[in-house]
Structure 1
Amino acid sequence: MAKQFAQVGDLRIHYELADYTEPWRSHEPESFLLYPGYCRNMEFWRAWVPLLGRDYRVLRLDARGYGETSKPPVGSAITAEMLAKDAIGLMDVLKLERVHWVGESTGGAVGLVAAHAFPDRIASLTVFNTAAKMGAETTTAYALDQPDQAAAIEKYGVAEWCRQTIRWRVDLEHAPEGIGEWIATEMAKTPAHVAVAAFRLFSTVDLTPLLSRIQAPTLLILGSKCTQRRKKNMAEMRDALPHAKLVEIEGYEQGLHFLAPDAMVAEVRRFLQEMAGPRRGWKSGLALM
């Protein structure tokens, strides 16, 4: 498939909209928007396209400064609201009224902002390994031997920083040979100054006050091998969200969307079915508004 780009404000967004739904259907297919995590790009979602594409349109994109999307100037700040507006702007260009937003890590955080700011555009929200507020343990680990993560990236570069922190990004027990270097190469498509700006954003933003006001049905997913701190944080998010469900993928820790895509998509499909029926295991049993 030829590379696709769309102009959204000052941004040239690299995206792919795949539609393999049956063309003779009388109704318009629903759409998924798959939003990447920190410094990652749409290639991390490759396996999801065939798993969803028979029944849904699947939109993947490179976020502002990531992958092949245009890069902001050095010194530019990035905000969560800016990233959410970029995605909604792309939806406008592609004439997608509503999407099921799936976000990994910081991509889930952007999804929370989008669901709060644009409630009519987000049909549901799925987030995994996402924090409403990044903990000190995370920022300390990713700093390596430097004062903070920004300094570590500036010293080592994105690729080498990624190699040295890969154990916090991927469940090495399930990681196939070569995936660590592939991840480092893909993440290095995001330049250091963008990685630093994104770190400044996500290490300081606190989305906790938004959670109680998000009406989109929300699925939270994490691996059963995640730390107790991560499990506690995501349970607190579930309790704060009005319509939420929390599930674990057995035997995994990090990198769920590309290490266990079949299990992940099965949970997402089950969640969408439950939205229209009995909400087993949900915090809220209220009918979908």
Structure 2
Amino acid sequence: MPRTKGGLHFSVSDCRAPWARDTLPVLFNHGIGTNMDIWAEWVPIVAARHRVVRFDMRGFGQSAVPAEDHVWSMDEMVADLWEVADGAGVERVHLMGESMGGTIVLAAAVARPERVASVSISNASFKGKGLGELAYWRTQFAEGGAEGWSRRMMENRFADGAGEARALTWFQEEQARTRPHVAMGLGGVLAQSDLTEALKSLEMPVSVTLPDSSPFVPVAHGVELKELAKNTRLRVVPGVRHGLPFSHGVEEARHLLAFLDSLDES
């Protein structure tokens, strides 16, 4: 069921059996250049066991697009996440984020730990220092516009043969709708992010999944995160680039469920 709150477009899906509705919801946060439909293949799998809340980040999909002089901040993105949670009527949640969405859910957990049962991130980092490709975005937009930037992003996200052709076409077309000022604004926030100190006090379970071939996030960042947050699991997926949550949606959704099941059993 699609809804809107504070200019943020979100959707709630719930396919749980009537006798199995005691699980906590999962709130999904996508990254730069796409929308909540990046999770489309995850929904039927996860929603069979947990209420699923997805939303279009500010500036993407059907959510409001800020003006070109908008001042972006991580605090704003965290506030957006919790506004969606409130709009969906959920209090305590599992958080799942990909790319910058992963950084946002980590920051959201730091800001409101009492509302977070667990955090899962994919192809994401806790800091901007050491991330690749961001420095080239301004030139890519200037020389090729959003379509040129999107073509380069597709090369960074997907290896040859990764993903269904029509799915990749959808992804590129959606990504090419990205407004340059939105991508550059959020990219600047991501580049300046650093949750190093904050993560030392994070106590809830954290699951980190990284492709071994992302041009953006080095696996070393996952190793560092595991050392910082005391209750962290790290899984590295070989032979995959930055588009892991999309190109391997079904498999990754099952891994998320396995992680959540393990928490219920502990």
Distance in 1 between residues matched to 2:214 and 2:182, nearest whole Å: 28
User: What CA deviation, in whole Å up to 9, does each residue of 1:194-236 have, x standing for no partner?
Assistant: 1111111111222222211222210000124457x71111111
Does residue 18 (structure 1) correspond to residue 16 (structure 2)? The answer is no
| Number of the residue aligned with 1:172 | 160
Q: 1:115 to 1:136 in 2, by over 3 A?
A: closer
| Number of the residue aligned with 1:240 | 228
The TM-score, its normalising length taken from structure 1, stands at 0.84
Distance in 1 between residues matched to 2:89 and 2:129, nearest whole Å: 37
Distance in 2 between residues matched to 1:30 and 1:154, nearest whole Å: 44
Counterpart of 1:272 in structure 2: which amino acid?
Answer: L
Contact 1:224 1:248 in 2 (8 A): yes
Distance in 2 between residues matched to 1:31 and 1:276, nearest whole Å: 13
- Which among 28, 34, 45 is matched to residue 34 of structure 1? 28
| Number of the residue aligned with 2:242 | 254
The TM-score, its normalising length taken from structure 2, stands at 0.91
User: Looking at CA atoms only, which structure, 1 or 2, has the larger radius of gyration?
Assistant: 1
Distance in 1 between residues matched to 2:63 and 2:228, nearest whole Å: 34
Q: CA RMSD in A?
A: 2.2
Q: 1:172 to 1:208 in 2, by over 3 A?
A: farther
Structure of greater relative contact order (alpha carbons < 8 Å, 6+ residues apart) = 2
Residue range with higher mean Cα deviation, 72-81 or 176-185: 176-185
Counterpart of 2:16 in structure 1: which amino acid?
Answer: T
| Number of the residue aligned with 1:190 | 178
| Number of the residue aligned with 1:5 | 3
Unaligned runs of 5+ residues in structure 1 are 144-148, 279-289
| Number of the residue aligned with 1:55 | 49
Distance in 2 between residues matched to 1:254 and 1:231, nearest whole Å: 12
Structure (1 or 2) with the greater helix fraction: 2
Residue range with higher mean Cα deviation, 129-138 or 107-116: 129-138
Residue range with higher mean Cα deviation, 29-38 or 243-252: 243-252
Contact 1:31 1:99 in 2 (8 A): yes
Distance in 2 between residues matched to 1:226 and 1:188, nearest whole Å: 20
Contact 2:219 2:236 in 1 (8 A): no
Counterpart of 1:81 in structure 2: which amino acid?
Answer: D
Does residue 112 (structure 1) correspond to residue 106 (structure 2)? The answer is yes
| Number of the residue aligned with 1:99 | 93
Unaligned runs of 5+ residues in structure 2 are none
| Number of the residue aligned with 2:40 | 46
| Number of the residue aligned with 1:78 | 72
Counterpart of 2:86 in structure 1: which amino acid?
Answer: D
Partner SS for 1:269: helix
State the aligned residue count. 266
| Number of the residue aligned with 2:187 | 199
Distance in 2 between residues matched to 1:49 and 1:210, nearest whole Å: 31
Does residue 150 (structure 1) correspond to residue 138 (structure 2)? The answer is yes
Does residue 220 (structure 1) correspond to residue 208 (structure 2)? The answer is yes
